[in-house]
């Protein structure tokens, strides 16, 4: 039940965040993504607003009912950053700034999702003391790289609309081609660090799966990257969805990066992973 509470409340909050962004981006989406429900006119603004508010209420209702402090905290942070990202109001609309936009996505997907849900399952569901494990430290660091790529890549097909409406994404500033190869290099570097992290395991089963799994994903990424056309929006969309598949595939590998991390070795493990990535 605790697992379902976390998943369902997070899904509802995700609908709120994505829906809110579409509500405030109707004019931009008419240029960049005319097939979306609001931009195409399939949904009215009123319908969109009702859906967004309903899912927000559902998310917080599930979170409050769970009485889990880590889960409620995760929902509150996601609500605040998701709103700050999209809402067009003074001091908000952080998506206009490339650094703030990327920070919102990175903090929620890489930090909040990993640590808050880990704390929810450990403390609230399993009633265990909160102790860091190698898998959760690895997941947080690895997903920081992946979330940065998602934040950067999603703006590549939106250059025309973003430039017209004054959204200074990195793709607008540097150009889609340079941002694309930046994303590929970040992912390949993260996979390289993950392979070395897996190779450092003392148990054979905890070494073979991460090493060969990440190696296979890195090879698939490199092969597909050679046939990318930055001018073809269909190709961009397909590749973006491929990145999401890699993102979710990672959660099948994370459990194999096990072992408890002693307090004295936690900082050492983080520094080692960062050193490999750099």
**Given this model, what pLDDT does residue 271 score?**
52
- Given a cut of 90, is residue 245 above it in pLDDT? yes
pLDDT tier for residue 157 given thresholds of 50, 70 and 90 = confident
Encoding tokens for residue 140?
Answer: 């947080």
Please tell me whether residue 259 adopts helix, strand or coil conformation. coil
91 vs 79: CA distance, rounded Å: 16
Encoding tokens for residue 148?
Answer: 């940065």
Mean pLDDT across the stretch 195-223?
Answer: 86
- Give the residue, 120 or 207, on which the prediction is more confident: 120
- The burial of 106, by beta-carbon neighbours within 10 Å (0-12 exposed, 13-18 middle, 19 or more buried), is given as buried
21 vs 50: CA distance, rounded Å: 14
Please tell me whether residue 89 adopts helix, strand or coil conformation. coil
pLDDT tens-digit readout, 81-90: 999 999 988 8
Sign, CA dihedral 21-26-32-34, equals positive
Locate all alpha helices (DSSP H) within the chain, ordered by sequence: 2-24, 26-32, 37-40, 45-66, 69-86, 98-106, 117-119, 134-153, 159-164, 170-174, 176-199, 204-225, 233-253, 263-277
pTM equals: 0.75
**Given this model, what pLDDT does residue 30 score?**
86
pLDDT tens-digit readout, 109-153: 888 888 999 999 988 888 888 887 878 888 888 888 888 898 888
**Given this model, what pLDDT does residue 84 score?**
93
Quick one: what percent of the chain has pLDDT higher than 70? Answer: 89
Encoding tokens for residue 190?
Answer: 């993260």
**Given this model, what pLDDT does residue 262 score?**
45
Distance of CA 217 to CAs 181, 197, 227, 248, 270, Å?
17, 15, 16, 11, 23
Mean pLDDT across the stretch 166-186?
Answer: 82
- Give the residue, 72 or 30, on which the prediction is more confident: 72
**Given this model, what pLDDT does residue 31 score?**
81
Please state, as a whole number, how many other Cβ atoms lie within 10 Å of the Cβ of residue 203. Answer: 10
């Amino acid at each position: 039940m605790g697992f379902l509470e976390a998943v369902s409340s997070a899904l509802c909050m995700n609908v709120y965040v994505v829906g809110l962004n579409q509500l405030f981006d109707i004019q931009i989406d008419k240029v960049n993504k005319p097939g979306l429900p609001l931009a195409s006119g399939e949904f009215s603004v009123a319908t969109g607003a009702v859906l967004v508010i309903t899912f927000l209420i559902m998310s917080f209702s599930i979170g409050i009912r769970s009485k889990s402090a880590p889960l409620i905290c995760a929902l509150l942070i996601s609500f605040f950053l998701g709103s700050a990202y999209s809402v067009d109001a003074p001091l908000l609309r952080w998506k206009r700034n490339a650094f703030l936009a990327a920070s919102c996505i990175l903090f929620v997907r890489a930090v909040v999702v990993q640590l808050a849900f880990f704390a929810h399952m450990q403390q609230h569901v399993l009633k265990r003391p909160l102790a860091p494990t190698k898998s959760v430290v690895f997941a947080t660091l690895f997903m920081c790289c992946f979330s940065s790529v998602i934040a950067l890549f999603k703006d590549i097909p939106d250059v025309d609309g973003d430039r017209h409406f004054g959204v200074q994404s990195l793709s607008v500033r540097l150009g889609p081609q340079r941002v694309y190869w930046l994303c590929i290099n970040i992912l390949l570097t993260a996979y390289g660090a993950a392979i070395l992290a897996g190779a450092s395991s003392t148990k054979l089963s905890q070494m073979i799966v991460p090493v060969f799994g990440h190696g296979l994903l890195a090879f698939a990424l490199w092969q597909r990257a050679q046939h990318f056309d930055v001018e073809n929006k269909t190709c961009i969309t397909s590749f973006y969805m491929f990145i999401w598949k890699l993102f979710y595939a990672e959660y099948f590998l994370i459990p194999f990066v096990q072992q408890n991390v002693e307090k004295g070795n936690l900082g050492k493990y983080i520094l080692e992973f960062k050193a490999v990535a750099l």
